[in-house]
Amino acid sequence: MPSYDPNNIFAKILRGELPCYKVYEDDKALAFLDIMPRAPGHTLVLPKAPARNLLDVSASDLAHVMTVAQKVAKGAMAAFGADGITIQQFNEGAGGQVVFHLHVHVIPRKAGAAMKPPAAEKEKPDALAEQAKKLAAAIASG
Ligand code: DGP
């Protein structure tokens, strides 16, 4: 497997070099909206420590990322009136991974509504800002 590339786009977001629609942050993880959501509120949860994917992340960072994914999922159920949550996580190109810093997708679902295809279209900045505000508040209120 190739080594971690510190110039991947999510590493730049983690360093604050690029913006994101943040919904949650602590000392070990960051969660922000996917700008090409498969459904409204589609969120990515990342460890802050460098990890390419599931295959090289430390067990403790992986456990923490999943704990944060659970927080985001519960917040999304409340914030978006979701009926369910889909979790996705891709590893290496052959596994569908496009950005090589580990991330877990948390996708709020409505009964009967199909997800859009992956990375199909960019959501409008206003919609993302509004969703991030709503979701961050729901996560904070726990
Ligand atoms: P994958 O590595 O297959 O899990 O796909 C990467 C996901 O990241 C995809 O759903 C689109 C999203 N994405 C790509 N570039 C950016 C970006 O600059 N910011 C955000 N927030 N999401 C991005």
Q: How far is the CA of 32 from the centre of ligand 1 (A)?
A: 10
Q: Ligand 1 test: best mutation among 7, 14, 32, 35, most atoms within 8 Å of CB? A: 35
All structural domains of the chain, each given as residue ranges with its CATH number in brackets, are 9-140 (3.30.428.10)
Write down the pTM of the prediction: 0.98
Helix H or strand E encompassing 86: strand 84-88
**Two tokens at 17?**
């070099």
End-to-end distance of the chain based on CA atoms, in angstroms?
38
- Among 64, 101, 103, 105, the active-site one is 103
As a whole number of angstroms, the distance between CA 91 and CA 113 comes to: 26
What's the average pLDDT block by block, 10 residues per block, for the chain (142 residues)? Answer: 96 98 98 98 98 98 98 98 98 98 98 95 98 98 90
Residue 115 burial by Cβ neighbours in a 10 Å radius (0-12, 13-18, 19+): middle
103 in catalytic set: yes
